[in-house]
Amino acid sequence: RIFHVSSLQDTARDDFRKLASAIYLQVSTISQALIFVTRSRSWSFVERPGLLLVSAFVIAQL
């Protein structure tokens, strides 16, 4: 157990809602973070994103 979270391997067969929640969180985070990759013309880590974009990403994840 890391961060006091139970493993999904043990509970995936028993609790479908936990697995669905984990998949939803993963998909929503990746789709929100995709804007950092698609906004730049070169490598995404070369150009620093603006403060407004980072703020919008953080607020959307809350």
> Could you tell me the residue range of the domain that residue 17 belongs to?
8-61
Please tell me whether the overall predicted TM-score, pTM, comes out greater than 0.75 for this model. no
Contact 40, 8 (CB under 8 A): no
Residue type, 23: I
pLDDT at 38: 78
Which of 38, 60, 27, 59 is closest to 49 using CA atoms? 38
Segment 6-61, tens digit of pLDDT = 666 665 566 777 778 888 888 888 887 787 777 777 777 777 888 888 888 888 77
User: Does a structural domain hold residue 33?
Assistant: yes
> From residue 50, how far is each of 10, 43, 53, 61 by CA, in Å?
41, 16, 5, 17
Residue type, 57: F
User: Does a structural domain hold residue 51?
Assistant: yes
Contact 8, 18 (CB under 8 A): yes
User: Does a structural domain hold residue 54?
Assistant: yes
How many folded domains does the chain comprise?
1
User: Does a structural domain hold residue 31?
Assistant: yes
User: Does a structural domain hold residue 2?
Assistant: no
Query: Per-residue confidence at 2, pLDDT binned at 50, 70, 90?
Result: low
User: Does a structural domain hold residue 1?
Assistant: no
